[in-house]
Amino acid sequence: MTLTQAAITKTIDARGMACPGPLMSLIGAIRAGAVGDTVAVLSGDAGSKTDIPAWVAKAKHELVEVAPADGYSTFVVRKAH
Amino acid sequence: MLEVMERPAQQPVPAASEAKSTAHEKLVIFAWSGDLDRVWPTLILATTAAASGMATTVFFTFWGLFPLVREDRRITGKNMMQKMLAVMNRGGIDYLKLSKLQMFGAGSGMMKVLAKQHQVASPAELLASAIELGVKLIPCQMTMDLMGLTTADLIEGIEEPAGAMTAMLDAKDAVTLFI
């Protein structure tokens, strides 16, 4: 794991969920959180690789890190506003 | 034709409608069906839009994915159900069926003869033109997983599989069709 040292406010294990499940879980957590919160979502869904960065860019949050692992990836997103 | 083309020059276009017109320079089609009589117009619209200069995307989901299956991939899928699906629902652009009057192949056969007589490009030709014209053909990753399709099962020249959000963000400022 090469995750950043930044404290992760919340981790969501969405492995096993299909599109758009992991992204919806992430959006829910970002909405519920406070500005500056960092949410990590674990997703094994291949669609997440395009969908999560696309949503983060569009919603103007910050994609801190994408860490690929065996069979899934961890997406770390900071709530920017 | 000429009359239509001359109109903008005669009437000064206000800035507001100029901004509005840029919102119609994109076409996103959600291709849900694998039926010949839906895939055909989908490809005609996509190629026409691209030829007219519109940024065009077709997002293939559910039955719509099967027309993208390569000619040499007869049986796709990992498990029994996915394989049965491929047996019952042959993929490939040359094996599409009509949604009505299929008549065990006679219907789609006759439709292809009629199209040839009227010099309408075949779905296979239109698909090749779409790729040539730079139409973004995006297969839905989730449906691929569901149906047991891999990128190796699909034709070349298409985009990497993506999810619903990618398609939705693309569709936000576009003319959209669900076919």
Task: Tell me the sheet residues that pair with A40.
Answer: A11, A76
Mean pLDDT on B93-99: 94
- Assess contact for B44 and B56: CB atoms under 8 A: no
Q: Which domains are delineated in chain B?
A: 25-157 (3.40.1260.10)
- Assess contact for B115 and B124: CB atoms under 8 A: no
Mean pLDDT on B76-94: 94
A20 to B165: CB separation less than 8 angstroms, yes or no: yes
Q: Residue A3 has which token pair?
A: 């995750």
Mean pLDDT on B119-123: 92
Q: Using CA coordinates, name the residue in chain A closest to B139.
A: A47
ipTM: 0.73
Residue with tokens 């796709």: B76
- Assess contact for B72 and B156: CB atoms under 8 A: no
For residue range B18-62, list pLDDT tens digits in order.
444 555 699 999 999 999 999 999 999 999 999 989 999 999 999
* Separation CA B171–CA B56 (nearest Å): 10
Mutate which: B138, B150, B166, B173, vs A, most A CBs within 10 A: B166
For residue range A25-65, list pLDDT tens digits in order.
999 999 999 999 999 999 999 899 999 999 999 999 999 99
For residue range A2-32, list pLDDT tens digits in order.
555 568 999 999 999 998 999 999 999 999 9
* Separation CA B149–CA B86 (nearest Å): 10
Contacts of B165 in chain A (CB under 8 A): 20, 23, 51-52, 54-55
The CATH superfamily assigned to A10-78 is TusA-like domain (3.30.110.40)
The count of residues in chain A is 81
What percent of chain B lies above the pLDDT cut of 90?
83
What percent of chain A lies above the pLDDT cut of 90?
84
Q: Residue A57 has which token pair?
A: 């860019």
Q: Residue B109 has which token pair?
A: 């056969």
Contacts of B148 in chain A (CB under 8 A): none
- Assess contact for B98 and B114: CB atoms under 8 A: no
